[in-house]
Structure 1
Amino acid sequence: MSLAGLFPIDKWNFKSQSILNNLPEDEYADLCAHMQEQRYSKGEVIFREGGVASGIYFVKKGKVKKYQVDQNGREQIIYVANTGELIGYHAILADERYPDSAATLEECVIAFIPKEDFITTLERSSVLPRRLLKTLSHEFAVLTNSISVFAQRSVKERLAITLIVLREKFKAETLPGEEIMINLSRSDLANMVGTGNENIVRFLTEFKAAGILNSQGRKIWIKDVKQLIKLSGCGNIQ
């Protein structure tokens, strides 16, 4: 089921997958001249908050969480990057250390592009700077929206929103005719919503009893996305 007209999904998703699409051949070749591809197991850290930014990362397959850790060691997941998205480029553009950490949510194939190649291509390109500016502007709007939601919405509403967004993330790699399955640990889900595991378990049980979803272990299947949109308070369903 499409969310078009029902839920403003663009307010929750970054658009970095469009940055490298159809770049001029010579620019893409320069960018990828020294690109190194690596396979990661589930749960592996790609880079850590405060680390020296030596390059950017292109998610060729899989899903990656971007997160920060508070003084008590608790994660706050900022975003989940999908196949085709870039991560780590904010630090390069700002000439700063990585402002957050990144780790795999599942087995991934990730390509590393050295900082020098990214900067050189950026300086020569007539296309890449405009795309990056557009993407950064959109990401600012997404993060502003997320901050507003955390300040104003209840845990149940935040969970509903998070499940809708995750459904779209996992839908992207679901084959036609297959049921969309969210495969995420309860702790990661809690860290996205900004609450404790016990609240996640309680509301998932409530949603399951209401026929909104099914679950088995860490796997979740949304059965009634329209009802979930109603609970989120962000959709256009009356």
Structure 2
Amino acid sequence: MKKTKSTQKTLAGNNQSFLYQHCGPEWYPLIELYKKTFEFQKGEKIFKEGQQVNGMYVIDTGKVKVIASYGKGKEQLLRLATDGEILGHRGLGGNHKYPVSATALTHTTVTFIPDEIFNKLLKANNGLCFYLMNFFAEELHHSEANSREMYNTSVKKRIARAILLNYEKFGIERSSKQLTYTLSRKDIANLSGTTYESVVRTLSEFNKKGIINLDGKSIGIPDKQALENIK
């Protein structure tokens, strides 16, 4: 982790940042005064499960996965996040410890807002509260939908859904139709609730049928509808 010089361009210049979209301009100076900017390399933890909560994070640039551990060395991939999105919100409340970990998938820059300042922003900005309420509701909806899918859909369907989530969150190159960032086979397996071996076999099958294009570790999506139609 590397701390970078705090500049207005990192967060305020990012018009995707929910803080600047949902807080009144009179609060910008407070944010600028207390925010800190950190850089993380691929594989570095932004915060760890069980760590004391000391604030919220906003992704300036980069790609992040949020995971929870269970059992012996097992992990569940809960969420993918990118530019302008919040991290650390699951630590809000009385527990004051992060129940999940956040790991950088690529070189990532985040802005950190101390807990005390974030709480002040919440109390004074109804728009921010409303945004977070909707965000939590949507996150819960996705979590419940994913839980149902684990029991009610085939492995192939779940793997297809994981690829589509990868596409929806991180995007695709228009010319080549390759994902701008492809999750590792292990992360796809984790997200799909299946094994690494099943992912490798299924991706090979999808590739042979022309549903996806494999180029090394990268995945291309020539026909999104075909992926959506997997049963």
**Which TM bucket (shorter chain)?**
0.7 to 0.9
After superposition, give the CA deviation of every residue in 1:2-51 in whole Å (9 maximum; x if it has no partner): xxxxxxxxxxxxxx964642531122432343111111110101111111
Query: Residues 230 and 93 (structure 1 numbering): CA distance in 2 closer, same or farther, change over 3 Å?
Result: same
Q: Report the CA distance between 1:78 and its aligned residue.
A: 0.6
Alignment CA distance shift 1:198-1:17 (3 Å): farther
* 1:167–1:180 CA contact under 8 A, matched in 2: no
The Cα offsets for residues 112-162 of structure 1, whole Å up to 9 and x where unpaired, read as 111111011112223211221122122111111111111211211100111
What is the identity, as a one-letter code, of the residue corresponding to 2:74?
A: R
Post-superposition offset of 1:225: 1.1
How many corresponding residue pairs? 215
Distance across 1 between alignment mates of 2:17 and 2:144? 20
Is the Cα contact below 8 Å between 1:35 and 1:114 reproduced in 2? yes
Q: Which residue of 2 aligns with 1:179?
A: 177
Q: Provide the residue aligned with 1:197 in structure 2.
A: 196
| Structure 2: unaligned runs, 5 residues or longer | 1-15
Match of 1:216 in 2: 215
Q: Would the alpha carbon gap of residues 157 and 103 (structure 1) be closer, same or farther in structure 2, given more than 3 Å must change? A: same
Partner SS, residue 133 of structure 1: helix
1:89 aligns with 2:118: no
The runs of at least 4 aligned residues of structure 1 exceeding 4 Å deviation read: 16-20, 174-178
Matched residue, 2:134: 134
Q: Aligned pair in 2 of structure 1 residues 210, 178: CA closer, same or farther (>3 Å)?
A: closer
Letter in 1 for 2:157: E
Larger RCO: 1 or 2 (CA < 8 Å, sep 6+):
1
Question: Quick one: structure 1 residues 74 and 20, their matched pair in 2 at CA, closer, same or farther if it must change by over 3 Å?
Answer: farther
Aligned to 2:65: 65
RMSD between aligned residues: 2.0
Counterpart of 1:9? Answer: none
Distance 2:145 2:159 in 1: 15
The letter for the 2-side match of 1:153 is T
Taking only the aligned residue pairs, the percentage that are identical comes to 30
Q: Which amino acid aligns with 1:228?
A: L
1:74 corresponds in structure 2 to: 74
Aligned partner letter, 1:47: F
Shift in Å at residue 216 of structure 1? 2.4
* AA of the residue aligned to 1:30: L
Counterpart of 2:102 in structure 1 is: 102
Aligned to 2:52: 52
Q: How far apart, CA to CA, are the structure 2 residues paired with 1:183 and 1:175?
A: 12
Distance 2:127 2:199 in 1: 43
Check whether the contact 1:30–1:121 (CA below 8 A) recurs between aligned residues.
no
- 8 A Cα contact 2:90 2:100, kept in partner: no
- Alpha-carbon distance in structure 1 between the residues aligned to 2:94 and 2:64: 22
- From the superposition, tell whether residues 89 and 33 of structure 1 become closer, same or farther in structure 2 (CA, over 3 Å): farther
The question of whether the paired residues in 2 share the 8 Å contact of 1:27 and 1:125 is answered with no
Query: Using the alignment, how far apart are the partners of 1:132 and 1:38 within structure 2?
Result: 23
User: Take 2:175 and 2:29, find their aligned partners in 1: how far apart are those partners?
Assistant: 37
- Whole-angstrom distance in 2 between the partners of 1:27 and 1:90: 24
Q: TM-score, normalization: structure 2?
A: 0.86
